[in-house]
Amino acid sequence: MTSLASKFRLPQERTLRTALPGPRSEELAARRRAAVAAGVGSSVPVYAVDADGGVIVDVDGNSLIDFGAGIAVTTVGASDPDVAAAVAAQAARFTHTCFMVTPYEDYVAVAEKLNALTPGDHEKRSVLFNSGAEAVENAVKIARTATGRDAVVAFDNAYHGRTLLTMALTAKTMPYKAGFGPFAPEVYRMPMSYPYRDPLGDDGVAAARRAITQIENQIGAKSLAAIIIEPIQGEGGFIVPAPGFLQTLVDWARENGVVFIADEVQTGFARTGSWFACDHEGIVPDLITMAKGIAGGMPLAAVTGRAELLDSVHTGGLGGTYGGNPVACAAALAALDVMERDDLSGRARAINDRVTTRLSALADEVGVIGEIRGRGAMIAVELVKPGTTEPDPVLTKAIAAAALAQGVVILTCGTHGNVIRLLPPLVIGDELLDEGLTVLEDAIRAAAA
Ligand SMILES: *Cc1c(COP(=O)(O)O)cnc(C)c1O
């Protein structure tokens, strides 16, 4: 996978022509301040004009290395030729009819594909939406209809979106919830397994039992419609729960008629080195929510799960004007083919090896790396004050800013804002990956010194 260069339109290189942000980005930022709501933030204040493979080109002609993939979305790249062709061809035929008015084949084909790719070989159904939050909202609607129960359990550090119900499910107040309440009722938060910070450490079964005891004490299984969890937490800090945690929760949910929802909006579609993060531990969720990487950057989301759960909802109970838009469905079919054809799951595992080998060596050298974790091309570097486990969000910010100044787009996350997260497009070549890592390592060294 080293010589992908020929496949790309844009040179796969980092080129800095101006300081970042450059003058034209600054001009656009001024226009933006007068026109766009201040509540929308941007982590990287350069304005894009082109993107391909592992690079983003900005309005000043700078070519940046992309370690964010637009938050785990452009897994196949931001302008994969097959995706772009599928989008153009479908847009030339029809952009919309509304599946609830006049249905079309690609929606059905995406549903078939998701039913086949998601964990478990039971009979499944799928329904399509526009965003991850919308998928989560609908998964909860389905679980409530199917069980006749109200309560939903979410976990510490969880992120499930920004709509009313998903804000309630999301753990972190700033910036996601502050001032936006009151929140949806019947949402309960339970302790997560977070091996690096949890006294129970690597004992996932004990961590699950701790949560189950609280569920039984505070809610009672008979009132609980669903447990929703990210199998690897995304915005919360790329937290991989200890082995046994997820399976113990799944087993308890099944014994108690509780719907187990895996929110794979960020972890899905080859990102973690498998189609889904659940695959790594053989977990079979009842419902799975998907979005982000599904359609090569086009807005599409889905809920897939047990046929009897999905089919328990009355006709007309699920839907939305744009849900399963035909252009987005065509993009998804093309993107999923690319992932299969180019074995992007294998590529994610190779990226993991390359990145963690280098960063582990760096961790021995600098005292600020508390933990390197993640699966596939979803890799976190948790930064702490030297000799402690105390989170260092200031250092984290400084590192991301220094990397950006050198032309590498680096995102942060974590409940304490002290996690660097690496989410490169899976089509990024090794040379560019290595160059970006060198910039990141230098930024960490300089900030730690
Ligand atoms: C991003 C994300 C969401 C929300 O998706 P949107 O498309 O932004 O609504 C939900 N769950 C997880 C795990 C996510 O990472």
77 part of a folded domain: no
Measured over the CA atoms of residue 154, residue 158, residue 162 and residue 167, the dihedral's sign is: positive
Contacts of 210 (CB under 8 A, 6+ apart): 191, 200
* Cβ of residue 160 lying under 6 Å from some atom of ligand 1: yes
Please work out whether the CB of residue 159 comes within 6 Å of at least one atom of ligand 1.
yes
Look at residue 4 and tell me whether its pLDDT is greater than 70: no
Asked if residue 221 lies in contact with residue 258, where contact means CB atoms within 8 angstroms, the answer is yes
pLDDT > 70: percent of the chain: 99
So what's the pLDDT on residue 203?
Answer: 98
Let me know the angle formed at the C-alpha of 409 by 417 and 294, rounded to the nearest 5 degrees: 90
Q: Is residue 71 part of a domain?
A: no
pLDDT in tens, 399-410: 999 999 999 999
Distances (CA, A) of 328 to 91, 244, 333: 10, 36, 9
- List, in order, residues 6 or more apart from 208 with CB less than 8 Å away: 193, 244, 245, 246, 248, 249, 252
Is the same domain home to 356 and 330?
Answer: no
- Buried-state track 254-264, b at ≥16 Cβ within 10 A, e below 16: eeeebbbbbbb
Indicate the number of domains in the chain: 2
Of the ranges 5-9, 78-82, 322-326, which one carries the lowest mean pLDDT score?
A: 5-9
Say if residue 350's pLDDT is above 50: yes
Measure 7 CA to ligand 1 centroid, in angstroms: 30
Task: List CB contacts of 51: < 8 A, sequence separation 6 or more.
Answer: 10, 57, 66, 74, 77, 78, 79
In which domain, by residue range, is 324 found? 84-341
Same domain as 331, residue 351: no
Of 310, 341, 372, the residue that ends a domain is 341
Distance in Å, CA 304 to ligand 1 centroid:
16
Do 308 and 268 reside in the same domain of the chain? yes
Give 161 Cα–ligand 1 centroid separation in angstroms.
5
- The single-letter code of the amino acid at 342 is D
Both 352 and 328 in one domain: the answer is no
Are 227 and 291 members of one domain?
A: yes
User: Any alpha helices (H) in 16-80, and if so which ranges?
Assistant: 23-35, 69-72
Does any ligand 1 atom lie closer than 6 A to the CB of residue 291?
A: yes
Q: DSSP secondary-structure letter at 412?
A: E
Q: Residue 401 corresponds to which tokens in the numbers above? A: 């800013």
> Which domain-ending residue is among 312, 341, 370?
341
CB of 265 closer than 6 angstroms to any ligand 1 atom: yes
What are 404's two structure tokens?
């950006």
**pLDDT value at 2 more than 70:** no
Q: Identify whether 386 is part of a domain.
A: yes
Three-class SS state of 395: helix
409-437: per-residue pLDDT in tens? 999 999 999 999 999 999 999 999 999 99
Residue from 167, 172, 232, 265 whose mutation best tests the ligand 1 pocket (most atoms within 8 A of CB):
265
The CATH number that applies at residue 12 is 3.90.1150.10
The pLDDT value recorded for residue 323 is 98
In DSSP terms, 413 is beta-bridged to: 419
- State which ligand 1 atom lies nearest to the alpha carbon of 291: 7
**Ligand 1 nearest atom to the CA of residue 158, by list position:** 13
> Could you give the CA distance from residue 388 to residue 19 in angstroms, rounded to a whole number?
35
Ligand 1: which residue has its CA nearest to atom 15? 266
Query: Is the CB of 230 within 6 Å of ligand 1?
Result: yes
Indicate which atom in ligand 1 lies nearest the CA of residue 130: 7
Q: Which residue has the tokens 């997560």?
A: 192
Task: Report the pLDDT value the prediction gives residue 114, as an integer from 0 to 100.
Answer: 98
CA dist., res. 320 & res. 99, Å (int): 9
pLDDT beyond 80 at 99: yes
Task: Answer yes or no: do 319 and 244 share one domain.
Answer: yes
Total-model pTM: 0.98
Confidence of residue 65 (pLDDT cuts 50, 70, 90): very high
Q: What 3-state DSSP class applies to 153? A: strand
Task: Indicate the top mutation candidate among 136, 157, 167, 176 to test ligand 1's pocket, ranked by most ligand atoms within 8 A of CB.
Answer: 136
**What are the phi and psi torsion angles at 307 (to 5°)?**
-55, -40
Q: For residue 74, how far is its CA from the centre of ligand 1 (angstroms)?
A: 14
| 127-167 pLDDT per residue, tens | 999 999 999 999 999 999 999 999 999 999 999 999 999 99
Query: Does residue 171 carry a pLDDT above 70?
Result: yes
Output the CA 227–ligand 1 centroid distance in Å: 17
Q: What is the pLDDT of residue 148?
A: 98
Question: Residues 248-257: what's their mean pLDDT?
Answer: 98
Q: Is the pLDDT confidence value at 25 over 60?
A: yes
Instruction: Please report where in the chains the tokens 């582990």 appear, as a residue.
Output: 360
For ligand 1, say whether the CB of 161 is within 6 Å of any of its atoms. yes
The pLDDT assigned to 1 comes to 44
Q: How many Cβ atoms are within 10 Å of 288's Cβ, its own excluded?
A: 30
Residue 78 lies in a domain: no
266, 72 in Cβ contact below 8 A?
A: yes
Q: Are residues 176 and 232 in the same domain?
A: yes
Question: In whole angstroms, what is the distance from residue 352 CA to residue 365 CA?
Answer: 20
379 and 283 share one domain: no
Q: Do residue 157 and residue 43 come from a single domain? A: no
Give the model's confidence band at 3: pLDDT under 50 very low, under 70 low, under 90 confident, else very high. Answer: very low
| Index of the ligand 1 atom closest to the CA of residue 133 | 9
- 301 belongs to a structural domain: yes
Nearest CA to ligand 1 atom 10: 160
- Residue 7 has a pLDDT of 84
Q: Which CATH number goes with the domain that contains 123?
A: 3.40.640.10
167 and 298 belong to one structural domain: yes
Please compute, for residue 445, the number of CA atoms within 13 A of its CA located in the half-sphere on the CB side.
11
Q: Report d(CA 28, CA 155) in Å as an integer.
A: 39
SS3 106: helix
Element spanning 365, H or E: helix 344-365
Q: Which atom of ligand 1 is nearest to the CA of 132?
A: 5
365 has a pLDDT exceeding 60: yes
Amino acid letter, residue 274: S
Nearest atom in ligand 1 to the alpha carbon of residue 162 is 9
What's the mean pLDDT in 205-233? 98
Residue 88, pLDDT score: 98
Q: What is the mean pLDDT of the chain?
A: 97
Burial string for 182-201 (b: 16+ CB within 10 Å, else e) reads eebebbbbbebbbbebbebe
Q: What is the largest CA-CA distance in the chain?
A: 62
Residue 68 CA to ligand 1 center (angstroms) comes to 15
What percent of the chain is modeled with pLDDT above 90?
Answer: 98
Domain boundary residue among 317, 341, 365? 341
User: 22 is written with which tokens?
Assistant: 């450059």
